[in-house]
Amino acid sequence: MSFFSLAGPSSSFSHPLASYGWDEGWEAEFAPYAGQGFLPGRVVRVDRGQCDVVTSAGAVRADTEFVVPRDPMKVVCTGDWVAVDPEGGDPRYVRTLLPRRTAFVRSTSSKRSDGQVLATNIDHVVICVSLAGELDLGRIERFLALALSASSGEALLHKSALSWESGAQPMVVLTKADLVPDAVGLSYLVQDVETTAPGVTVLPVSALTGDGLDVLVASVSQGTSVLLGQSGAGKSTLANALLGEDVMDVQATRDMDGKGRHTTTTRNLLALPGGGVLIDTPGLRGVGLWDAESGVGQVFSEIEELAERCRFHDCAHGSEPGCAVLAAIDAGDLPERRLESYRKLMRENQWIVAKTDARVRAEIKRDWKRKGAQGRAAMEAKRGRWR
Ligand code: GDP
Ligand code: ZN
């Protein structure tokens, strides 16, 4: 099987780092360090306390030990903009980390400060969903929640509420569109996803025929993107189509040293020929659903809005009197499937946090006990509704 490749013309940029996402905002952030003679650069790979940085003076290798090493959230990460020493042999030193606009964080506990940063300064989260099998809307909701939890740098520090504006912009790409030969059928699938993800761009794409690739290239031509999705969704194929060549293979060949061994200098951040930047790290590839509760709330905003009108503040929308969510289902305004997905995702998210956090685990247990004591009669009534 051969795939379409789109190697667009390189745009003409004024600053040598523009193709890596350098803009006036970064220029302003960097001004004080420019005054000290440091070089700006973007981290394209991190390993063992060192990182590879692209600078206007070429690629350099740098030590990160000067950047607050005790705070895991401030560990230098792929996607970061940094200031490095202007000269000297490699490794040099990363002197400062510019404030992040967004970050993908894997929470290892409910305390944000214990998170692991996977990628930073991301503008677009491209959620890849294959059309090869049956479309799983619940899975799309799950990835959307995750995309929305890619929080703004500020939110990371202050635990503030996240919003569509502050975080990365999600987009759903339905891959392998060539496997749905019927155009009308395809448009129904797109509509289904659009209903599940209100306000989110949904784009069917085929790497095989090239359909939709031009729109995708244009969508990611500004800012930094990541591809998320299940294994087999077609992410690598799309990445190669966006890059216009089999970069991973090409790099592997180039990095072969004289003795025929691979030296690992593969970049996790690449400038796209059609404009824009792609981040692809092993950590992101294996992404599941982490601490994405705020994201879940945004994906199901209509349920959260309804819930504000429930009679009880802590209404579980099971059998409580005066429940606005159940009323909406009865009135046909809210599909029952949406509420089921919402519950499932909230439960799952809570479970994942609980697995790593004893305090949350204890809270959940208390909650279960309280509900068990007060809710047995309610459960009886509920049985008719939720099997
Ligand atoms: P990843 O695990 O998400 O990186 O998925 P891959 O890019 O490795 O693709 C998984 C499989 O789907 C591979 O066998 C690809 O050849 C196939 N595939 C990818 N894109 C397309 C497409 O547009 N059409 C078809 N028919 N197959 C595709
Ligand atoms: Zn309710």
- What is the CA(334)–ligand 2 centre distance, in A? 13
User: Looking at the CA of 311, which ligand is closest?
Assistant: 2
The C-alpha torsion from 347 through 141 and 226 to 4, rounded to 10°, is: 140
Q: Within a domain: residue 5? A: no
The residue out of 69, 97, 125 marking a domain boundary is 97
The answer to whether the CB of 208 is under 6 A from ligand 1 is yes
| Residue type at position 113 | S
Quote the tokens at residue 250: 């090409």
The answer to whether the CB of 234 is under 6 A from ligand 1 is yes
The answer to whether the CB of 206 is under 6 A from ligand 1 is yes
The residue out of 59, 81, 97 marking a domain boundary is 97
Residue by residue, pLDDT tens for the chain (387 residues) are 444 444 434 444 478 899 999 999 999 999 999 999 999 999 999 887 789 999 988 899 998 876 655 666 678 889 999 999 988 788 888 989 998 888 877 654 444 445 567 888 999 989 999 998 888 887 788 777 777 665 443 333 323 223 333 467 889 999 999 999 899 999 999 998 988 887 889 999 999 999 999 999 999 999 999 998 877 888 889 999 999 865 544 444 444 444 433 344 578 899 999 999 999 877 665 554 444 455 666 677 788 889 889 988 878 888 889 999 999 999 999 999 888 888 877 776 665 555 545 555 565 566 555 655 555 555 555 555 443
Same domain, 131 and 189: yes
Structural domain boundaries enclosing 50:
18-97
Q: Cα(223)–Cα(121) distance, rounded to whole angstroms?
A: 9
Q: Within a domain: residue 66? A: yes
CATH of the domain at 49: 2.40.50.140
Q: Within a domain: residue 159? A: yes
User: Looking at the CA of 209, which ligand is closest?
Assistant: 1
Q: Within a domain: residue 118? A: yes
Same domain, 140 and 183: yes
Same domain, 80 and 113: no
Q: Which atom of ligand 1 is nearest to the CA of 208?
A: 23
The answer to whether the CB of 175 is under 6 A from ligand 1 is yes
Report the domain count for the chain: 3
Same domain, 89 and 118: no
User: Looking at the CA of 228, which ligand is closest?
Assistant: 1
The answer to whether the CB of 246 is under 6 A from ligand 1 is no
pTM: 0.70
Same domain, 254 and 114: yes
Q: 169 and 162 in contact (C-beta within 8 Å)?
A: no
**Residue minimizing CA distance to atom 26 of ligand 1:** 176
Same domain, 85 and 127: no
Same domain, 147 and 25: no
Quote the tokens at residue 48: 């063992």
